[in-house]
């Protein structure tokens, strides 16, 4: 009996950039939260990393189309700034928004909110969707998640999304963090 495939796409989640065989070659999907905020699930087959890793990795992040540097993201991905395709036709608004979300996510204008690894595709995707529902349903949990550190320098998710590395460097220097001192010496920031 053939294995039944399942889809991440449903009435809330829309395909951003997924291979037909996304469990083998990766995929990403977006869910609209507000007019400018989207949650993005990114699924990766660790075998694609090329370092001998196995299993799967899933992450959930937020893309805010009002974040700084979005125009740079659009330009780097050839997203037309006027919403008109190469044939002079208007791109449908929903499709254009998803193009912009993909460009921002690819460029790194995103706030990391959740990640998990494992061997069970369905469980990983279900966990990411569950986290998305939880963050959409609880403003307190959302604020908490956006204020937590997401990298070794201690950048908060919201700062990371905006590209504001200097705030984490300054906090780290003031706290005596050697990593932040190195970044400050490289010209990132000084208190």
Domain that holds residue 44: 13-146
Q: Do residue 101 and residue 191 come from a single domain?
A: no
Mean pLDDT of 28-50: 92
Q: How many domains does the chain have?
A: 2
Per the domain annotation, does 169 fall within a domain? Answer: yes
Q: pTM (2 decimals)? A: 0.88
- According to DSSP, residue 149 is labeled B
Helix, strand, coil shares of the chain, percent, nearest 5, are 40, 20, 40
Taking only the tens place, the pLDDT of each residue in 105-134 is: 999 999 999 999 999 999 999 999 999 999
Q: What is the pLDDT of residue 4?
A: 46
Per the domain annotation, does 119 fall within a domain? Answer: yes
- Asked whether the predicted pLDDT for residue 35 surpasses 50, the reply is yes
Q: How far is CA 24 from the centre of its chain?
A: 20
Per the domain annotation, does 153 fall within a domain? Answer: yes
Q: What is the pLDDT of residue 3?
A: 44
Per the domain annotation, does 4 fall within a domain? Answer: no
Taking only the tens place, the pLDDT of each residue in 149-160 is: 999 889 999 999
- List the helix and strand counts (H, then E) for the chain: 8, 5
Q: Do residue 75 and residue 89 come from a single domain?
A: yes
Which of these, 101, 103, 91, 128, lies nearest to 32 by C-alpha position? 101
């Amino acid at each position: 009996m053939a294995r039944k495939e399942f889809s991440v796409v449903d009435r809330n989640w829309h395909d951003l950039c997924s291979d037909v065989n996304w469990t083998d070659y990766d995929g990403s999907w977006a869910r609209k939260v507000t007019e400018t905020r989207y949650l993005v699930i990114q699924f990766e087959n660790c075998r694609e990393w090329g370092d001998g890793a196995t299993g799967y990795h899933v992450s959930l992040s937020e893309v805010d189309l009002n974040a700084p540097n979005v125009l740079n993201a659009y330009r780097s991905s050839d997203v037309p700034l006027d919403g008109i395709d190469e044939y002079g036709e208007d791109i449908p608004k929903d499709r254009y928004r998803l193009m912009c979300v993909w460009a921002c996510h690819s460029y790194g204008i995103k706030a990391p909110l959740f990640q998990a690894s494992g061997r069970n595709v369905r469980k990983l995707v279900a966990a990411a969707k569950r986290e998305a529902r939880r963050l959409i349903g609880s403003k307190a949990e959302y604020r908490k998640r956006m204020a937590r550190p997401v990298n070794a320098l201690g950048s908060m998710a919201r700062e990371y999304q905006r590209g504001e590395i200097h705030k984490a460097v300054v906090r780290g220097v003031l706290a005596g963090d050697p990593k932040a001192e190195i970044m400050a010496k490289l010209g990132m920031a000084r208190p």
